[in-house]
């Protein structure tokens, strides 16, 4: 019961921060596009083909969030993003297709800066595939 309640609360917060599926607007400096990859304790991460994994990033200056789809090899490409400091969490579908997404909070923040086009985000030592 506690797991269901926790999943419901996390889902509600994510829906609220994501603007309920609408593309959020942003008034401020942005970058046009960038690429990157996720690692776990400095090592490459792989996900099963077909699993819809995303990195949910939250801009600390505006509290707006975006979902970045990850490829099976842990890489990603994204269009514009606001410049600034971000927190992140990894979202994976539930085992067996039941319940809410499995969420892993990325331990460190990261910054998107003007002129940088490639990012590495480390999930840390605590990540278990």
Q: Is residue 20 predicted with pLDDT exceeding 60?
A: no
Percentage of the chain beyond pLDDT 70 is 81
Contact status, residue 29 vs residue 54, Cβ threshold 8 Å: no
Domain presence at residue 68: yes
Domain presence at residue 129: no
Q: Could you tell me the residue range of the domain that residue 89 belongs to?
A: 2-122
pLDDT at 64: 94
User: Tokens 């969030």 belong to which residue?
Assistant: 65
Instruction: State the total domains in the chain.
Output: 1
Q: Tell me, what CATH number does 53's domain have?
A: 2.60.40.1120
Q: Is residue 17 predicted with pLDDT exceeding 70?
A: no
DSSP, collapsed to helix, strand or coil, labels residue 9 as: helix
pLDDT at 99: 87
pLDDT category at 95 given cuts 50, 70, 90 is confident
Q: Which residues contact 47 (CB under 8 A, 6 or more apart)?
A: 53, 70, 72, 74, 92, 129
Using CB atoms within 10 Å of the CB of residue 106, give its burial: 0 to 12 exposed, 13 to 18 middle, 19+ buried. Answer: buried
Domain presence at residue 77: yes
Its pTM surpasses 0.95 = no
Q: Is residue 106 predicted with pLDDT exceeding 60?
A: yes
User: Tokens 């979902």 belong to which residue?
Assistant: 67
pLDDT digits (tens, 9 = 90+) for 35-91: 999 999 999 999 999 999 999 999 999 999 999 999 999 999 999 999 999 999 999
């Amino acid at each position: 019961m506690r797991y269901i309640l926790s999943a419901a609360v996390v889902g509600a917060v994510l829906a609220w921060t994501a603007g309920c599926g609408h593309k959020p607007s942003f008034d401020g400096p942005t970058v046009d596009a960038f690429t990157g990859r996720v690692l776990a304790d400095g090592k490459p991460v792989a996900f099963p083909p077909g699993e819809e994994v995303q990195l949910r990033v939250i801009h600390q200056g505006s509290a707006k969030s975006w979902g970045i789809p990850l490829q099976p090899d842990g890489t990603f490409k994204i269009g514009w993003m606001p410049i600034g400091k971000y927190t992140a969490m990894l979202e994976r579908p539930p085992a067996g297709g039941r319940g809410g997404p499995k969420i892993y909070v990325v331990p460190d923040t990261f910054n998107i800066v003007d002129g940088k086009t490639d990012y590495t985000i480390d999930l840390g030592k605590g990540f278990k595939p």
